[in-house]
Amino acid sequence: MNKIWIIIKREYLTRVRKKTFIISTLLFPLLYLGLIFGMGFIAEKSKQNLHVAVIDSSGYFSTDAINKQNLADNSSVLTLVKSNTDKIIADHNAEGYDGYIIIPAINWKEGSDSLFFKANKSYGSGSTAAVEAKLNRIWNEIKNDSLQIDTEKQTILVKSKLRVSARNIKDENANVKTAEGIGYVAGFLIYFILLIYGSQVMMGVMEEKTNRIAEVIVSSVKPFQMMLGKILGIGLVALTQFFLWIAFVLIVYNVGKASGAGGGMATEMVGSMQKMFASVNVPLILFCFGFYFLAGFFFYASLYGAIGSAVNEDMREAQSLSFPITMLVIISIALMTAAISDPTGPIAVWGSIIPFSSPIVMMARIPYGVPGTVPVWQLALSMGLLILGFIFTVWFAGKIYRTGILMYGKKPSWKEMIRWAFRKN
């Protein structure tokens, strides 16, 4: 036991002291936020403001109505063209338009028609959507005028709507939107951890094997202790990184709360976070996150460790051999996406119980509420099976590791590795 502790200490300290650890700990949240905001920003930027010529054959459109909408929303400009239409159709660019739309002679009462925005370039749906929305607003006004609906009635028509969202009667507090958000974040975090730290375990084992220090170490400790020490040490590194991130969020939260009176945005954020925390069971989520993160890490890291012990210094060998394991993680993410949109469906239930996918899939379901969405028996079964699962993978990996770490030469196949696991000492 004492020796495992020494190994854990080394594995932990050499990694935490590295610059790359500090940098990645700081950069990951920034990258994550950057990704979210950046995508919105890029989507916004990639919309083009179009100048569109409207050639009206129906006679409903008037320059006044169009100009009114142009004033209200300047993201694209529509111009009603009455003369020179042939010229525009022949060469819209020369006339200063990005393209044109011909409105056929339609009746306003049944005017559901597909129109074409014609241009000599391709434009994305983001750009044409704005034009479509504007045209429809004008069309609505035309209809309202024809039906003699005044502003008051219009407001009623627009405002009065029935909305339906899911509410679980066993768990009145559950908020689907929040649960979805937390589920996504938790699932993806576990996914990243499994892949990044799993491959760190693999690389660490490969390093020991190619450096030939493995033989020196196994003359002092058992191969199993060596492997376990590495997995635990690297798991602690991952845990440390998490605590730093949680601390980071708490600091932002508290600073935001303290300065809340002043900044509008900070108050808003803190307010929405408070609301969010109120609608979910934070201690339960944190506990489950800790459990699924650690158990899932043991499950996968031991398999990655086994592969690291079986291959030589060739990175390609390691990649081809670890492909099935990586696939399991990626399948889990696919199952998670399904589970988030339907947290009580069969994919969600089975995905969250079967050990290989349960760390990611169950974490996506738990924010919806226990026992509202996830019955206690499912959670207990999932945890129990995952514990059995990682005990099995650690045992299995230990057997492969023992043989692989001192074996040089040809890369073994999965079949051979399984044979190593089940043969006697």
Which range, of 214-222, 288-296, 346-354, 364-372, touches another protein by CB under 8 A? Answer: 214-222
**Partners of 56 in the beta sheet?**
103
Complex with another protein: residue 10 or 167, whichever CB lies closer:
10
Of 166, 188, 179, nearest to 336 by C-alpha is 188
Q: How far is the CB of 215 from another protein (least distance, A)?
A: 4
Interface of this chain with another protein, residues 13 to 72, rule: CB under 8 A: 14
| Member of 106, 115, 221, 338 binding another protein (CB under 8 A) | 221
Which range, of 178-186, 209-217, 231-239, 321-329, touches another protein by CB under 8 A? Answer: 209-217
Read off the tokens for 171: 């768990």
Asked if 413 is part of the footprint of another protein (rule: CB under 8 A), the reply reads no
CB 183 within 8 A of CB 368: yes
Asked if 425 is part of the footprint of another protein (rule: CB under 8 A), the reply reads yes
Asked if 213 is part of the footprint of another protein (rule: CB under 8 A), the reply reads yes
Complex with another protein: residue 14 or 254, whichever CB lies closer:
14
Torsion of CA 402, 407, 413, 416, to 10 degrees: -60
Residue 202 one-letter amino acid: M
| Member of 81, 119, 205, 214 binding another protein (CB under 8 A) | 214
Q: How far is the CB of 423 from another protein (least distance, A)?
A: 9
Asked if 155 is part of the footprint of another protein (rule: CB under 8 A), the reply reads no
Complex with another protein: residue 168 or 210, whichever CB lies closer:
210
Q: How far is the CB of 26 from another protein (least distance, A)?
A: 22
Three-state SS sequence of 205-236: HHHHHHCCCHHHHHCCCCHHHHHHHHHHHHHH
Q: One symbol per residue from 351 to 390: x for binding another protein (CB under 8 A), - otherwise; what is it?
A: ----------------------------------------
CB 307 within 8 A of CB 323: no
Complex with another protein: residue 18 or 177, whichever CB lies closer:
18
Phi, psi of 78 (to 5 degrees): -105, 140
Residue 420: enclosing H or E segment and its boundaries?
Answer: helix 414-422
DSSP string, 132-178: HHHHHHHHHHHHHHHHT--HHHHHHHHH---------TT-TT--HHH
Q: How far is the CB of 11 from another protein (least distance, A)?
A: 11
What is the end-to-end Cα distance of the chain in Å, rounded? 22
Of 231, 230, 248, 60, nearest to 139 by C-alpha is 60
| Member of 49, 220, 274, 337 binding another protein (CB under 8 A) | 220
Complex with another protein: residue 120 or 425, whichever CB lies closer:
425
Binding site for another protein (CB under 8 A): 3, 6-7, 10, 14, 207-208, 211-222, 406, 425
